Amino acid sequence: MGRALADAHESARDAFATADRVLGYPLSAMCWEGPAEDLKKSVHTQPALLTHSVAAWRQVDAVGLVPSFVAGHSLGEYSACVAAGALSFEDALRVTSRRGELMYQAGLDRPGAMAAVLGLSREDVEAACADAASVGIVRAANLNAPGQIVISGEPAAVDAACEAAKARGAKRAIKLEVSGAFHSPLMASAAEGLREALAGVTIHDARCPIVSNAWARPVQKADEIRAALEEQLLASVRWEESMRLLIESGVEGFVELGTGKVLRGLLRTIHKEAASWNVEDPESLQATVAALGSATGSNA
């Protein structure tokens, strides 16, 4: 994760070196050499993904690509805050590491499950969750794109909601390998701990609007950004609404930073005409810069 970018660019190498120093262990070696089992632990996964995306952001920033807005999916909202100057990279590392610990512990304290429901409208997914409410807590947690919604809650309730979704016409309901019921009320203890962690860092007004996961609207003032991050673990990720807001605001190009192209895939489902690129290695960086030049108006 991120090695090719770090090998090619000093500022990317510095991002990983900073992570090693702040976290007090060799995250860079874990990202580049493994073992994979260690990297899969939430306490490591979250700062690792943050570091790769910040390393990618530094390359985009260096060539003068200026975002009109930024947004990030769940954990990615912290990368967006770094890109917008609202949160220092060092503080983001500390908070995301703690966030990973808290989410894992919350999953042990209140075991949960998540499942991707495909081919069903938001209204029908929410109705399926309501059908399962007598079994336990379950809710729509990630509103990713039309026909791509993730539900989260107590295991038996998630199973019941999956069956209800299939009865309502879902193409598939796929259980996910997760350590807890993220973006659900089962994360209450983690959310409280996260508020304490966020209280220990400085948040600045952002240079550009950050589209909040929880509210699907832009925030730019420091107090609003803090409140949005505090609410995030308990709130649904309103990704489809966030992307539609950006499109309606005139954003014509989107750049995904860091590991993979999942968000580009979701964007194509939301609005197939939207232009998008990704930056995760030197080749994708070169292609993105060639396509965009010094254009502005992209969402990082």
Q: Percentage helix, strand, coil, to 5, in the chain?
A: 55, 15, 30
- Rounded to an integer, what distance in angstroms lies between the CA atom of residue 204 and that of residue 89? 13
Task: Write out the two tokens for 25.
Answer: 């262990």
- Positions marked catalytic: 74, 183
Contacts for 105 with CB less than 8 Å, ≥ 6 apart: 189, 190
> What CA–CA distances, in Å, run from 297 to 44, 67, 69?
33, 5, 8
From 185, 238, 235, 198, select the one nearest 81 (Cα to Cα): 198
- List Cβ neighbours of 20 (8 Å cut-off, separation of 6 or more): 26, 27, 28
Q: State yes or no: cis peptide before 35, omega within 30 of 0.
A: yes
Q: Is the dihedral of CA 10, 205, 203, 215 positive or negative?
A: negative
